Amino acid sequence: MSADWTSWPAPAKLNLFLHIVGRRADGYHLLQTIFQLLDWGDVVRLRVREDGDLVRAGDQVGMIEQDLCLRAANALRQRTGCRAGADIVLKKRLPVGGGLGGGSSDAATVLVALNEVWDTGLGLDELVQVGVPLGADVAVFVRGETAWAEGIGERLTPISLPGRDYVVLDPRVAVSTASLFQASELTRNTPPTTISGYLSGNGFGAGNAFEPVACARYPQVAAARDWLAQFGRARLTGSGGCVFIEADSALRAEEIVSLCPPGFAAHRARGVLKSPLLGALQDYRSTHR
């Protein structure tokens, strides 16, 4: 096997808003959202194996993330016919069930990184096709740009937003995405908006369709939102448990993080237009090509 380990970021995302605007005939929900990528997330370490084995080693993570990393690697091999293997180590920072996209981001990073180190040569569109069956959010992490999303989350339009600092508060409870999607009280018929309409203020105040359901079913999520709301407009991200606010500056974000009460975990993160994974890809190519 190769002795060279490489390290690849798997960034978090925030949903700045999230509306459900309908359902497809197959039952999938149709969404509108903005995926804001962050400079904070998990880290995937890889080492190529010549024996063809795929091995997860050196970490202790939830089965969902573990399965997604291996499924991503297997999906890439099935698509390309590659016979190489890999050691995969995942350093988890993002909470499972937090709505930050951790599992999807891990899978996307495995796809992008192994496509490079295995030299399988797939383009972005092809990698998205490989990744979407693993989760609709995989697409935004593969493409690596903050984006407006529609469909089931796979139809992406890059969007330029001012750089902002965020405080993300983790209530330390894993929210079941499936249970929220199945909730009878979930609002599924919000009128669609447009990018220009949202940015011009038509979407100002737009919230997250999952927030009232998550707060009603998980008191710890409601408590996290209520605590964070004293510092700004607190919102749920995705269909998970984490809530967030925009901060006036990195310093103010750090001040709020320092006040985090027992039972929660608080993090400061910076919104970025381009994923740090793209930077890692460029760095790898500059030293290996």
The whole-angstrom separation of Cα 69 and Cα 226 is 35
Q: 77-80 contacts: CB < 8 A, separation 24 or more? A: 79/122, 79/126, 79/130, 80/118, 80/120, 80/121, 80/122
Catalytic, 137? Answer: yes
Please pick, among 87, 106, 137, 165, the residue that the annotation labels catalytic.
137
Please pick, among 13, 87, 92, 106, the residue that the annotation labels catalytic.
13
Catalytic, 165? Answer: no
Q: Which residues contact 207 (CB under 8 A, 6 or more apart)?
A: 17, 18, 235
Q: Which residues contact 178 (CB under 8 A, 6 or more apart)?
A: none
Three-state SS for 69? helix
Q: Which two tokens stand for residue 218?
A: 């998980």
Residue located via tokens 């989350």: 153
Beta-bridge mates of residue 89? 45
Q: Which residues contact 263 (CB under 8 A, 6 or more apart)?
A: 171, 172, 220
Three-state SS for 254? helix
Residues annotated as catalytic are 13, 137
